[in-house]
Amino acid sequence: MLACGTGVELPRHCPPELLDQSWLAVARTSRVTNGALIRAAAPLSESAALDSGATMLTNDTTVTWDGREVRGRRVSRLGAIELSSTPVRPDPVQARHAVLDAVQSRGLDAVGWTKNGEALRRRLALAHRILGDPWPDVSEEALLARAEEWLDFDALAAGRGSDATSGLRGLLGWQESARFDEVDPETITVPSGSRIRVDYPEPDSDTFPVLAVKLQECFGWTDGPTVCDGQVRVVLHLLSPARRPLAVTDDLASFWANVYPTVRAENRGRYSKHPWPEDPMTAIPTKRTNRSL
């Protein structure tokens, strides 16, 4: 490589004394497909090369983050030619910048979202989509622009990972923080008493949250759950006792009146140990079998 950064190679039939040299003084080259071909050169000692290129000598410290740990290296160069590279310990400011640069370059996937962090981001995304400000925008573009406000740089730099939950919650104002678990709850209590986790849509999706629950646990429920201050109906995936899907609805009153009789007829023989009342509106919601009632 030349000091200017151009890749060069010796011609096939060059003088033997040039082949084993670490340094060459190159006087003339010609352009080829993958770089340049040396046409005139002479052997050069390392000391002579360093003396003649003294104005191009540099010493730089590079700090990078590979998603697991921050690494620093001190690199000496003559122009574009690397002379030496030794590991160094980055200081906290350098480590922070390395993590930030990597996340800005590679996107949010570089953060390595945990289930808790991803679930929180989905809840925040729905609040922003439906209710707007002051609920924060947590799209990739918005989070990258505000990365210094929510990323746990120390944890990421040390390779400990970060679930991002505390950082994302920190984007909320105090009023929104106090109301958030009511506006977009993590779980919903169904008529049987079970607390079931809500499956919120991905941040860039235009779909709505889902609650997968056994049909028998919803007896007597007509209104169904809502989120976002009542503006969004949660879509219910009503499951069999074997947790297989029986129906999908966001209108329980219509389901009980129009669909349930068919579902009951098709499944009460298959799941005879479980209640299938003719009138689901007056039946006791339960997650138990008939024997346990």
Rounded distance between C-alpha atoms, residue 62 and residue 53, angstroms: 22
- Indicate whether 195 and 271 sit together in one domain: yes
Of 156, 180, 204, the position where a domain reaches its end is 180
Looking at residue 243, its pLDDT comes to: 95
Indicate the pLDDT class of residue 97, thresholds 50, 70 and 90. Answer: very high
- Indicate whether 74 and 150 sit together in one domain: yes
Residue 292 has pLDDT above 80, yes or no: no
Residue 1 has pLDDT above 70, yes or no: yes
- Indicate whether 77 and 27 sit together in one domain: no
What is the percentage of the chain residues whose pLDDT exceeds 90?
62
Of 155, 180, 205, the position where a domain reaches its end is 180
Looking at residue 232, its pLDDT comes to: 97
- Indicate whether 241 and 145 sit together in one domain: no
| Mean pLDDT for the stretch of residues 67-78 | 89
Domain carrying residue 125: 55-180
Of 180, 197, 232, the position where a domain reaches its end is 180
- Indicate whether 100 and 191 sit together in one domain: no
- Indicate whether 67 and 166 sit together in one domain: yes
Residue 293 has pLDDT above 70, yes or no: no
Indicate the pLDDT class of residue 2, thresholds 50, 70 and 90. Answer: confident
- Indicate whether 39 and 124 sit together in one domain: no
Question: Whole-number mean pLDDT of the chain?
Answer: 91
**48-64 residue pLDDT tens:** 988 888 999 999 988 99
Indicate the pLDDT class of residue 30, thresholds 50, 70 and 90. Answer: confident
| Mean pLDDT for the stretch of residues 191-206 | 96
| Mean pLDDT for the stretch of residues 265-289 | 94
- Indicate whether 258 and 214 sit together in one domain: yes
Total tally of structural domains belonging to the chain: 3
**32-47 residue pLDDT tens:** 877 788 888 888 888 9
Indicate the pLDDT class of residue 170, thresholds 50, 70 and 90. Answer: very high
- Indicate whether 69 and 158 sit together in one domain: yes
163 versus 45: the higher-pLDDT residue is 45
Indicate the pLDDT class of residue 8, thresholds 50, 70 and 90. Answer: confident
- Indicate whether 69 and 169 sit together in one domain: yes
Indicate the pLDDT class of residue 291, thresholds 50, 70 and 90. Answer: confident
Looking at residue 236, its pLDDT comes to: 98
- Indicate whether 226 and 215 sit together in one domain: yes
Indicate the pLDDT class of residue 109, thresholds 50, 70 and 90. Answer: confident
- Indicate whether 147 and 225 sit together in one domain: no
Lowest mean pLDDT among 12-21, 44-53, 93-102, 125-134: 12-21
How far is C-alpha 103 from the geometric centre of its chain's CA atoms?
A: 10
Looking at residue 111, its pLDDT comes to: 86
| Mean pLDDT for the stretch of residues 144-155 | 90
